[in-house]
């Protein structure tokens, strides 16, 4: 077997290497907060067979206008690993994505502090009272 720069051509990529590559994939809506597809809980499964990787992903919504770009990004990042020969990314709809799938770091980055929410709620309640609505 020929070795190139200490790399075994026949080696399969490890799951950790694939996850590290996925950590570089961001939904455009979360890029500014550095929340990856892994952090968001979008990765349903990773199947590695020899040098071929199959990834099943869920989407936060079926209406996501960036879904195709996100899938391309996953293929590019994982496909860029030297041990990977092919990448197949498949969107699965079951289970559906819910916020509970996010890791604690993502939840914290997306959480609005109560001190920012309380004034918004108070303003909404004031407006409703002025219009005579029941709150």
**Residues 103-125 pLDDT 10s:** 999 998 888 766 777 788 888 88
Please return the burial class of 90, using the count of CB atoms within 10 Å of its CB with bins 0-12, 13-18 and 19+. exposed
| pLDDT at res. 7 | 40
| pLDDT at res. 132 | 82
pLDDT tier at 6 (50, 70, 90 boundaries)? Answer: very low
Domain boundaries, the chain: 3-102
Is 12 in contact with 82 (CB distance < 8 Å)?
no
Q: Give yes or no for residue 3 having a pLDDT over 60.
A: no
For domain 3-102, the CATH architecture is: 2-Layer Sandwich (3.30)
pLDDT tier at 96 (50, 70, 90 boundaries)? Answer: very high
The tens digit of pLDDT for each residue in 59-78 reads 998 888 888 999 999 999 99
| pLDDT at res. 124 | 87
**120/107 Cα distance (integer angstroms):** 21
Q: Give yes or no for residue 8 having a pLDDT over 80.
A: no
């Amino acid at each position: 077997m020929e070795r190139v720069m200490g790399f075994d051509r026949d080696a399969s990529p490890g799951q950790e290497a694939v996850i590290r590559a996925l950590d570089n994939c961001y939904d455009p809506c979360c890029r500014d907060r550095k929340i990856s597809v892994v952090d968001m809980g979008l990765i349903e499964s990773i199947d590695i067979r020899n040098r071929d990787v199959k990834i099943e992903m869920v989407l936060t919504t079926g209406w996501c206008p960036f879904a195709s770009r996100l899938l391309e990004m996953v293929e590019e990042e994982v496909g860029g690993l030297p041990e990977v020969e092919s990448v197949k990314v498949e969107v699965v709809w079951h289970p559906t994505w819910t916020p509970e799938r996010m890791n604690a770091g993502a939840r914290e980055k997306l959480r609005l502090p109560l001190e920012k929410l309380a004034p918004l709620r108070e303003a909404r309640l004031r407006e409703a009272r002025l219009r005579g609505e029941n709150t």
